[in-house]
Amino acid sequence: MKLRVLVVDDEPLARERLAHLVEEVPDAELAGTAASGEQALLLAGTLRPEVILLDIRMPGMDGLETARHLARMPEPPAVIFTTAFDEHALAAFEVQAAGYLLKPVRQEKLQEALARARQPNRAQLSRIADGAGGGSRTRIAVRARDELKLIAVENILCFIAELKYTTLRHTAGEELIEELLKTLEDEFAASFVRVHRNSLVALAHIEGLEKYADGHQVVRLRNGAGTLAVSRRLSADVVRKLKA
């Protein structure tokens, strides 16, 4: 069975050349092409490629962040990074990609990388999903049926833990995600603050801290987005972060 390959590169000529190289590999077929990380995530959900040739340096969502979102899919594709910049090699290997190709990509190197990518192991995929080698995400990928919806982190108001799910509230609504609050807190420590054992709030969306006569405290969100209770245990940390 031929290996279905999605080519992702923001440069049209590089994308076209790599797509042509894929078509020349006997046991591979071109599933499609994408010009950005965002488009790659959307196409991956519909085209179901087994391998993605992914440029690292792209505007907006770069290849490393894109790979982290891809690894969270129910059946994640293998990722082979492509780039003209050799200094990215270490970061690519740190996320345990299935392969790494320097541009201009040579036909024989592509064939070797695709052969190795047929069997990515679960350890590689879990390390990518956990974010090894990359900084915090700029978007959160939310699965809605068979599609991925991307929520910009700057638009997220808060995360609320509820039983086995976490509610992600953003400026245009809310979504359910299967991510632990503690994991989110560790990743976004610079821009979010834990206000309660089940609540993580974006510092940029906090309008102020209010304290009532009975000692009860809440953070008020901007633009009338409501309030969230602040636990006594976390109150000092909330005040410190707001002042900073």
So what's the pLDDT on residue 58? 92
> Which tokens is 108 given?
């024989």
**Interior/surface letters 12-27, b for 16+ CB within 10 angstroms, e for the rest:** eebbebbbebbeebee
What is the C-alpha separation between 59 and 235, in angstroms, rounded?
39
What is the C-alpha separation between 189 and 107, in angstroms, rounded?
43
Percent of the chain surpassing pLDDT 70: 86
Q: Phi first, then psi: what are they for 99, rounded to 5°?
A: -170, 170
CATH topology for the 155-243 domain: OB fold (Dihydrolipoamide Acetyltransferase, E2P) (2.40.50)
Q: State whether residue 193 is helix, strand or coil.
A: strand
Residue 34 has pLDDT above 90, yes or no: yes
| HSE-up (13 A, CA, CB side) for residue 181 | 20
Quickly state the pLDDT bin for 95 (edges 50, 70, 90).
Answer: low
Residue 113 has pLDDT above 70, yes or no: yes
Residue 141 has pLDDT above 80, yes or no: yes
Lowest mean pLDDT among 63-72, 109-118, 143-152: 143-152
pTM of the model: 0.66
Question: 78-83 and 99-102 as β-strands: parallel, antiparallel, unpaired?
Answer: parallel
Residue 132 has pLDDT above 60, yes or no: no
So what's the pLDDT on residue 55? 94
Q: Where are the chain's structural domains?
A: 3-129, 155-243
Residue 54 has pLDDT above 80, yes or no: yes
Going from the C-alpha of 28 to that of each of 44, 155, 188, the distances in angstroms are 16, 39, 39
So what's the pLDDT on residue 89? 56
The mean of the pLDDT values for the chain is 87
pLDDT tens figures, 195-229: 999 999 999 999 999 988 888 899 999 999 999 99
CATH 3.40.50.2300 fits 3-129, yes or no: yes
pLDDT tens figures, 152-177: 999 999 999 988 889 999 999 999 99
Question: With left for phi above 0 and alpha for psi between -120 and 50, is residue 131 left, alpha or beta?
Answer: left
